[in-house]
């Protein structure tokens, strides 16, 4: 069974500082990996995804993530935080099992950006 662990339910950074949100997964087969962002009282928006190929994935709003198979990690980074980045971030994993096609989500990391 697949699972996702997000280390740190709350992360606080200063505006302009590096953002690092951690995600580790377990999967018995090569996974598809996703990062979603959620603003208060809204749905989830896709930031980026890893499917196959290049392990460094670039997404929207300057975010990127690197798939490291040996570490079973898919950490999300952004070089310089902006106030508008304050939101909750979810890492999710899916396996190439077309039977269910659901995502398994981590418990989320709330990012706070200090001025």
Partner 1 sequence: DGGITQSPKYLFRKEGQNVTLSCEQNLNHDAMYWYRQDPGQGLRLIYYSQIVNDFQKGDIAEGYSVSREKKESFPLTVTSAQKNPTAFYLCASTPRGRGSYNEQFFGPGTRLTVL
Per DSSP (E only), the strands in the chain are 3-5, 10-14, 19-21, 24-26, 31-38, 44-50, 56-58, 64-68, 73-78, 87-95, 104-105, 109-114
Supply the minimum distance, in Å, between the C-beta of residue 28 and partner 1: 16
Supply the minimum distance, in Å, between the C-beta of residue 33 and partner 1: 10
**Comparison of 83 and 101: residue with beta carbon closer to partner 1:** 101
* E strand or H helix at 100: none
**Comparison of 3 and 80: residue with beta carbon closer to partner 1:** 3
Supply the minimum distance, in Å, between the C-beta of residue 46 and partner 1: 7
Coil, helix or strand at residue 50: strand
Contact 37, 45 (CB under 8 A): yes
Indicate left, alpha or beta for 10 from its phi (over 0: left) and psi (-120 to 50: alpha): beta
Supply the minimum distance, in Å, between the C-beta of residue 26 and partner 1: 15
List interacting residues with partner 1 (CB under 8 A). Answer: 9, 32, 34, 36, 41-46, 49, 51, 90, 94, 96, 98, 100-103, 105-108
**Comparison of 25 and 36: residue with beta carbon closer to partner 1:** 36
**Comparison of 35 and 85: residue with beta carbon closer to partner 1:** 35
């Amino acid at each position: 069974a697949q699972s996702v662990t997000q280390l740190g339910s709350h992360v606080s950074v200063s505006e302009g500082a590096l953002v690092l949100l951690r995600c580790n997964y377990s999967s018995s087969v090569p996974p598809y990996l996703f990062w979603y962002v959620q603003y208060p009282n809204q749905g989830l928006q896709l930031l980026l995804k890893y499917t196959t190929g290049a392990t460094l994935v670039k997404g929207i709003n300057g975010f990127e993530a690197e798939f490291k198979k040996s570490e079973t990690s898919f950490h999300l980074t952004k070089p310089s935080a902006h106030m508008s980045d304050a939101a909750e971030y979810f890492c999710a994993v899916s396996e190439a099992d077309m039977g269910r096609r659901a995502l398994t989500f981590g418990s989320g990391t709330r990012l706070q950006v200090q001025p």
